[in-house]
Amino acid sequence: MFNSKITTSTSKKVTSSLAMILLSTMVIAGCANKTPPVTAGTGTSAMTQGDDFSKHLEVHNADLAKRLFISDVKSRKSNDLLEINLTLTSRYEKSQKLQYHFNWFDEAGFVIEAGKTPWVPVELHGKQSTTLRGLAPNTKVSTFSVYVREIPEKAYEY
Q: Each residue of 75-121: pLDDT tens digit?
A: 999 999 999 999 999 999 999 999 999 999 999 999 998 888 889 99
Mean pLDDT across the stretch 143-150?
95
| Identity of the residue numbered 34 | K
Helix/strand number for the chain, H first, E second: 2, 10
Nearest alpha-carbon partner for 105 in 87, 88, 82, 85: 82
CB 84 within 8 A of CB 134: yes
CA of 156: how far to CAs of 32, 63, 151, in Å? 52, 21, 12
Q: Within 10 Å of residue 42's Cβ, how many Cβ atoms?
A: 12
Torsion (CA) 54, 141, 128, 123 in degrees, nearest 10: 120
Q: How far apart are CA 144 and CA 112, in angstroms?
A: 10
Residue 128's pLDDT is 96
The pTM of the whole model exceeds 0.95 = no
